[in-house]
Amino acid sequence: MTEPQLSPIAEPAHSEPRIAGNAPWDSHRETSPQPMPRTFAPTLPPLDLDGLKTARIDPSGVDWKRVQPRYAKARLITGLIWALIIVALAALPLIFTQFLHWWNWAPWVCWGILGIVAALQTWYLAIIQRQVRALGYSERQDHLLTCSGIMFHEVRAIPYGRIQYVDVKSGPIESKLNLASVEVKTASSASTTIPGLEKADAQRLRETLTELSDAKMVGL
């Protein structure tokens, strides 16, 4: 494994305050803000590789707040309803051929379609628990971080100053379980949702985010 044109973890010979010093999430939001690097760096120091190798893509030193485990229940119920509908649709060829004799498909085709769809749906339902456990968020000094997925892992950072509005949503099943999700919109078309929060937590998060975005707002 070679890392081209990136001097590895060796400290760059810069005496000035380095831009790539502390990650913005090294300190929590509650602590005092870091001093701004006032010196203009005509060329930035090489990227600060943290020596964690390529084990993961999460930035170091972040303790994720996890969503409520019972959110899996809400996902499971919705997933189950959908799975039943989809499996019923996939069973149509079988019903038409075997029982109603309207169609004349080969039995292995009918059973094959049903089997593949049913297996996929079971798989989706089985990994819900894992997926929900992988959801996380963290409020840092200047950013809201979210992470999701195990197989397809993704970490996102949204600067508070770019948040345009924050919505709290709650579907019927989520509402029964006293859960809500927080949707964060920026000027870009991509939005971020943190699902499965306790309703009170979601409200609190919304208020915090709105306050922070007002305080740090920058124009487009």
Partner 1 sequence: MSEEKIDTFNAASRDKTRQELRWRRAHILSPFVNAWLIIFVFIFTVGREFFEIGTQNDREIPDFSQAPELPGVLSIFENFGMLWLPALLLVGFAVLLIPYFVSWYSYFFAVDAHNVYVRSGILSKTERKARLDRVQSIDINRSLMARLLGLAELKFDVADGSHSALAVKFLKYKDARALRAQLLSQVRALKEADAGENLAPVTDAVSSLGDGKPEHTEPTRRERLREHVATNLGPGLKDADETPVLKIPVARLIASVLLSFTTCVTVLGVAFFVGLSLFTGASLVSILFANFALIAGMGSTLWKKFNTGYNFRLSTSPDGLKTRYGFTDTTTQTVPAGRVQSITVSQPLLWRFKGWYQVRVALAGKGGTENTFTGYLLPVGTADDLARVLPLVVPGAGSGGADAEALRAGLVGSGSAGGFTVSPRRARVFNWLTYKRNGFAILPALLMVRGGWAVRRLVLVPHSKVQGIRVSQGPFARRRSVAHLSVDVAGHSASYPATVQNADATVARALFVRQAQLGVRPASP
Binding stretches for partner 1 (CB under 8 A): 1-6, 19-20, 23-24, 36-38, 40-44, 47-50, 52-54, 56-59, 142-143, 149, 151-159, 161-162, 186-190, 192, 216, 218, 220
Q: Shortest approach of partner 1 to residue 200 CB, angstroms?
A: 26
What does the alpha-carbon distance between residue 15 and residue 40 come to, in Å, rounded to a whole number? 13
C-beta of 73 vs 143, nearer to partner 1: 143
Q: Shortest approach of partner 1 to residue 62 CB, angstroms?
A: 10
Q: Shortest approach of partner 1 to residue 104 CB, angstroms?
A: 31
Contact between 136 and 67 under an 8 Å Cβ cutoff? The reply is: yes
C-beta of 154 vs 207, nearer to partner 1: 154
DSSP state of 168: E
120 by Cβ neighbours in 10 Å (0-12 / 13-18 / 19+) ranks as middle
Q: Shortest approach of partner 1 to residue 22 CB, angstroms?
A: 9
Point out which residues pair with 198 in neighbouring strands.
179
Contact between 152 and 135 under an 8 Å Cβ cutoff? The reply is: no
C-beta of 9 vs 89, nearer to partner 1: 9
Helix (H) / strand (E) element for 68: namely: none
Phi-psi region of 51 (alpha: psi -120 to 50; beta: other; left: phi over 0): left
Q: Shortest approach of partner 1 to residue 142 CB, angstroms?
A: 4
C-beta of 57 vs 109, nearer to partner 1: 57
What's at 143, amino acid-wise? H
C-beta of 81 vs 150, nearer to partner 1: 150
Q: Shortest approach of partner 1 to residue 64 CB, angstroms?
A: 15
Tell how strand 136-139 and strand 143-148 pair up.
Answer: antiparallel
C-beta of 32 vs 43, nearer to partner 1: 43
In 10 A of CB 109, how many CB atoms? 12
Which residue carries 């769809």 as its tokens? Answer: 117
